[in-house]
Structures are given as C-alpha cells and as structure tokens.
Amino acid sequence: MTLRRQTWLMLALVAVSTPMALVAETYLRGLMFPPEFEQVRMFLRPSLELPVWSLLSLVALTTWLGIRGQHRRVERKMAARPPEEQTQYFRDKDTFDSLVLFTSLPQIPAILATLCFMVGASLLPVLVNMVASTVGVIAVGMLGLRRAELAGVE
C-alpha cells in the first residue's frame, strides 16, 4: 500500500473516532445514568460554555505541535539511519509511523469537549471543537504526506 493510500485511510479512521466517541457517550449516558442526571447537566451547562469554547485555542496549539513534531521526528529518524537506508521507502515508513502518533494530538481537545458534553456542555461548542480537531488532523496528515512526497522529488 502506498504512503498516500495509508495516510488517507489512517486520517479517515482518526477523523471519525471522535464523533463516534460522542455518539457512544450519549448512548451510554442514556443507559447508565439516572434520569436526574439531566438536571445536573442543565445546572452545569452555563459554567461549561467558556471552557469548551476556549478548547479551540488548544486545537490550534496541538495542531501546530503535531505539524512541528511530526516533521522533526521524521528528520531525526532519517538522519539517524545509515546512508544505505536513507531512501524514499524508509522516509515513507518513518512518515507514516510519525503520522499515527502526531495526528492524535489535535484530537485531545475534541475528546475533552466530549467529556464536557457528558456533564452538561451545549452541543454547539462541542461540535465546533470536533470540526476544528478534524481539520487539524487532516492538516497534520496532509503536510506530512506533502513533505514526504517533496523529499522524493529532490
């Protein structure tokens, strides 16, 4: 499987995992929590608005860290390889390995937003965080893929 195909498959799986977690959390909350818990959620809702909206800044930070970290890790791994292993095959392998790790960073705020939804946050800021996190995941993946492809052209 090519790096491009692997990257797109991995990005698709990572991108749908957070919305699936929201759906699972909502379903399990309905099954496991008592009906009175909705009153607690309504009571906590106003105090959770600002923290959930401010998670958007964490999305930007984790996306930036993911992009920088992924690039630095690939360059370090390639520099540590013996000259005969400094080929496009090994660059693609290192790129994919680092993408698996660093595309998870932008999802952290979306997971935190999902947890806030569980205890009462409104759905709108949670969904905005999920969309922003998904964009961050795709940005980390596409920039990593682009760097690997450009390195192969040189």
pLDDT at res. 2: 83
20 burial level (CB within 10 Å; 0-12, 13-18, 19+): exposed
CA distances from 113 to 24, 86, 105, 124, 135 (A): 14, 41, 14, 10, 16
pLDDT at res. 154: 54
Q: What is the pLDDT of residues 26-60, one digit of tens each?
A: 898 889 989 899 999 999 999 999 999 999 999 99
pLDDT band at residue 98 under the 50/70/90 scheme: very high
When pLDDT is averaged across residues 123-136 and rounded to a whole number, the result is 95
pTM score? 0.88
CA distances from 46 to 17, 40, 43, 52, 67 (A): 27, 11, 7, 11, 34
pLDDT band at residue 75 under the 50/70/90 scheme: very high
Three-state secondary-structure class, residue 124: helix
Write down the residue that tokens 């052209």 correspond to. Answer: 153
CA distances from 24 to 10, 17, 28 (A): 21, 10, 6
pLDDT at res. 16: 87
pLDDT at res. 150: 84
Q: What are the two backbone dihedrals, phi and then psi, of residue 30, each rounded to the nearest 5 degrees? A: -65, -35
